[in-house]
Structure 1
Amino acid sequence: MLAQVRCPVRLAPHELDAYLERGWFRMRQNIFTTNFVHFKNEFYSAIWLRVKLHEFSQDKTRDKLFKRNAGFRTEIRPAIITPEKEELYSQYKKHLPFEPMGTLGQLLLADFSPVNIYNTYEAAVYDGNKLIAIGFFDVGADSSAGIAAVYDHDYGKYSLGKFLIYLKMEYCKGLSMQYFYPGYFVPGYAAFDYKLSIGKSAIQFLQLKSQQWMPLEKFFPDDIPYEVMLLRLKEVQKLLAQSKLESKILKYEFFDANLFPELMNAQLFDFPIMLFCSDHVDDDLNHVIVFDVRDDQYHLLQCVPVYAPNAPNADPDFYSEYIIKEEQAVLSTTASAEMVDWIITFLNAKKNLGIIT
């Protein structure tokens, strides 16, 4: 699956390490993975990152930040939510371009879970006795993961978000941990690019097609799954057009439906983009083509509707009439021409039988 969630009732340190190794990340008291994100009707790839702490050394960015923030007091300790931290979060979220969780407690614990199954620590930064930044991270047996950072926007010139990440990494390196996981970056969406400059010589990314961690210096356009999917589907669309066949590439509104805990076992369709072999897509779920970078193949899928949302997306570039589920794979091939030949043969057979005109 390209998007999954789990809801463990307990999580041992070595189990957290194993999840992080596979590109999973904490979401409140659950843990999830995804490979795509959706911002303002645009889809992007989510590329998971980690820092090899034994290769991480003090760099120029780190030295500048620590010099700039030398007048502040820092503390690292087991995390606890307090009114002071909630107030800092309340002020911080006013400056965000998206709607965050209502409270810090909801962000880390969720209302229904008073117990934290994670071993969570916090890095705190004080100007005198005033809390100006707080960053949370989970500690496993051999790995740790940065979860959230909150800071006073009046101190914007101090780059406290980056400073907190360095504080977390140095603390974890002092514990002889091997890896620090800062989450993902999003090619084409600059808000996440700051992660790429932290411990740069020791950063790796998780390559979706191989499920291997690779040095960031080996990250190329072919490692952006959404862009590859779109490019390969356009190849099929072009060949279909040459054969006078209509088709339409659409973004799938509910690609991340599997991330809802109540749907986590439904194994719903989770490709972010697909090609319909017709420009009439309301009823035709029998000829949905996707390209999967994991096996480098096109797949012709027969899908079935599962649920009709109350308010589908009005954008014509989206398919949102139903949440759908794959029923069966009709054809898989590495070649766009073979896929198109099969479609033409199938449609001609239906015409000869009088099923379509």
Structure 2
Amino acid sequence: MAFLEIDHLVKRFGSTEVLKGIDISVDEGAFLVLVGPSGCGKSTLLSMIAGLDTITSGEVRIGGRRVNELHPSKRDIAMVFQSYALYPNMTVAENIAFGLEMRGVAKSEREAAVARVSEMLQIGHLLKRKPSQLSGGQRQRVAMGRALVRDPQVFLFDEPLSNLDAKLRVDMRTEIKRLHERMGTTIVYVTHDQIEAMTLATQIAVLRDGVLQQFGTPAEIYNNPVNVFVADFMGSPSMNLVPAKVREENGRTVVALARTGEAELTLDTGAAAQKLAGQIGREVLLGVRPEAITDADGADRNARTVVDAECHVDVVEPAGSDTFVVTSLGGKHVIARMRSDAAVRAKERARFAFNMDKAVYFDPATEKRVA
């Protein structure tokens, strides 16, 4: 049985419906990331799990127990906020122990818990300092320590890394993942950063305008998006989405992509041909990740359907370990991810290898996946 169950959850503010029937179930020990653009309802959903926001309809259950009417202090959860929310007049040790003190935990137990958590977070040398004497990353560790010291059933993180610089964000991301692997406690984590979602999660819920778009593992979300929004939102650079027409040529099902001033580019659809049988003669959106378009020598040798094609190179962007190469297909800029030493130059032609095993197809009208 699922440990955290969100059952047809609805939230209204007046006549405005912010969450529109969210259904999510996760097992104990899972790392669930709620991801989506600003205003999609992810922080509201987290607040409802925490008990900081009332539920209009539906249920939240933790460990099989309905918690809708329970006060936040009775839900056995701990929350880490974006703003750290530390008491400025208290030392690090006092901040971490404050919740335990309010619950009447004995001093010796509080001190033992603070020592355990500070060692885990490597902040033992900071225990006597005040928050004003800490860096942003150190403050976030203290905020995490205050949550960890309670040993709750569920940890809730509300965009905890958004105030940190890029390098520190990566470092803290690694720390959070390491902590989860060590503790095995259920975590619900809100972010608008899809890289954070992909690297941290065991399961991802993608939200848009209060509607759950897709729920699954990071690999499922990334490789098998159910609609155009998920395909475009998840991934950096995002998935190439190119208008194309499905045709049958010499017994093969292909997609034809328009090119300015030259013949169309036709790509064999390979294993997707059967699913595309009902789309012959129709327009589709071809979705293909940048890493599935490479230089010929960098193509996946295990792929069943790789199509080599010569294309005009618009832009070359060296990125250290990779080279991003931009061409134009179907009236769209298409990004390929090639090897760092790929022999490509802007304003010239080059060989591109399209791994069609990785291609997905969407209906342009409904934006839903068709193959």
Q: Give yes or no for TM over 0.5.
A: no
TM normalised by structure 1 equals: 0.27
TM normalised by structure 2 equals: 0.27
